Amino acid sequence: MKTIPAPLLTLQLPEEAVVGFASLLQHGMLFAVDRPVAILPFLLALPGFSAEYIEKTVQTIFVNGVAADSLDRTLPAGSTLALSAAMPGLAGAIFRRQGVHGSLRSQPAAQTPSGPSDSGFITLKLFNSIATDRIQDLLTHGILLTGKALHDFTARQEHLVQPPVTISFDGRQLDSTALLAAVAGYPVVKVQASVL
């Protein structure tokens, strides 16, 4: 994965406040790629994702909205990968990776081959306990989001960016109202947190 220039939003927040940002990961983090990448090495490159964690915790995988069983599947730029821990009930049984009820799913369309020069973003969405488990690792490392996703999350969860949380955007101190106005128009924003 490559890095791209993006304005930096930094948050300083108490450790107990970090978990409140877990639902931010449902909006989708962006990862710049210059060629297609398989799911497993893509995940192993992320902070906090070990082979053991992936095997034990990642129970449901969706690629572009279609359930997938294989961690070897290739993700070209433009793909959306969504991960969930075990989901309850029949839906959980049907969508569980390599589950016995996988035959009840509709069959995905054939994967479109992509050229080696494909570049752009892969969007990663994390749900339920995976988002809760990984939010601190990802936020302290830094994540890329669309300005719209950050704006929409902050508008609904404005209490999460109130004092004692401090916000800095491109080196300027902001309050939550100024944050909403500042980020909305940016295609990509890097968000990084330091935990007090």
pLDDT digits (tens, 9 = 90+) for 108-161: 444 544 444 468 999 999 999 999 999 999 999 999 999 999 999 999 999 999
The answer to whether residue 136 is domain-embedded is yes
With tokens 């009820």, the residue in question is 101
The answer to whether residue 184 is domain-embedded is yes
Output the pLDDT for position 100: 41
The answer to whether residue 2 is domain-embedded is no
Three-state secondary-structure class, residue 79: coil
Tens-digit pLDDT profile for residues 68-101: 888 999 999 999 999 999 654 444 444 444 444 4
Domain encompassing residue 33:
8-195
Instruction: Please state the pTM of the whole predicted model.
Output: 0.83
The answer to whether residue 49 is domain-embedded is yes
For residue 48, pLDDT beyond 80: yes
Number of domains composing the chain: 1
**Using CA of residue 156, residue 134, residue 1, residue 168, what is the dihedral sign?**
positive
The answer to whether residue 3 is domain-embedded is no
The answer to whether residue 183 is domain-embedded is yes
Burial readout 118-131 (b: 16 or more C-beta within 10 A, e: otherwise): eeebbbbbbbbebb
The answer to whether residue 1 is domain-embedded is no
Higher-pLDDT residue of 101 and 63 is 63
Output the pLDDT for position 129: 95
The answer to whether residue 98 is domain-embedded is yes
